[in-house]
Chains A and B, each alone.
Chain A
């Protein structure tokens, strides 16, 4: 295979370091969605729920061997560490090296499979072919039966993407930035259209494959784990409303399994990029994920969570609490009666606890103590629910009151959202008491004169 060799031979350790470092900003590290038993001959199986094998120092899971095939790249995307104008050490794995690493790591139960992405060498099609050949080798020569996630390179030959799809469990095409304008500004070589084309192709491939599987049970599977994508948050001025709408569109129109959000980390220092003084916008990313879950599992629509007038998520309240305090007319909800869809809309009740409630209330009338055991977070839920017609405490169903109680003081201080500082109230908490407290004053306090 003709490879672009760097000047001197690098060791595997050096290559692994360079290519892991280059791949780490890719978010997707899930190994879920495919259930495949071992076949008794090859190494590997897949578990539907996915398995996390370790967690790195930033708290993200390490499930797959996440590497680039190469960090050589002809593109010059301003946010990307591997852009061609960036002066960094470059390295390229040979397909054999990737296969050996994957197999040896997998045997030792370090990883659940391989995540293979790549910079663009020469052309998208050339790169896609290298990726395709690598995982063909892994499947057929090294007999690997575990999880493989590969990137589809936008602009590559559709036939290559199709062929790769039959070897991989999950494919993803990165949307990179939520809007076409943002993409034009920061990634001059990429176009919205070329990104959406392979996405559509994979979607159609999956649908077609499902029809084939219905007819022939043993037909080869095409991207069995579905496809995902990711967006960078905070590099361009889009608001949360736009982002969440794009995500909803992707789920509905492109049948995506997951949309990942990646808080922007400024690694290149390009002048077109925002300087983020407070580090990456992690809270914003967190709120987007929360909203994403509401879209996928709780039956919410993007338009319910945000609108044009209020395009950003509340910093203090999570999106569900935020929705609930704005729709107090629908509360309180009776736990022993309400349908599952309504239970899911109560803050503090998740998908699992809602299901458990529905099952458990068939045989008993549930009280607040039972709810606690079932996994409901009463701290958040108590304002919105009744058990047998009773509230847990005599609380007011008022927006201000609930918001004040949901956001406790410590939380507000930690987030530093309102320029005030808080401390424990003391007896002498009064503006006039700034100096030292005299003995006389203490005495006065003791006898109740102050």
Chain B
């Protein structure tokens, strides 16, 4: 992938990473489980 394309709006890598981070936060919340309730 060219340097230009990396910075271009339609590079969907950023969107995928945002989704990945959101999913990771959900996973951490899932793992905290009871700790969140206390």
A binds B: no
Interface residues, chain A, with chain B CB atoms under 8 Å away:
none
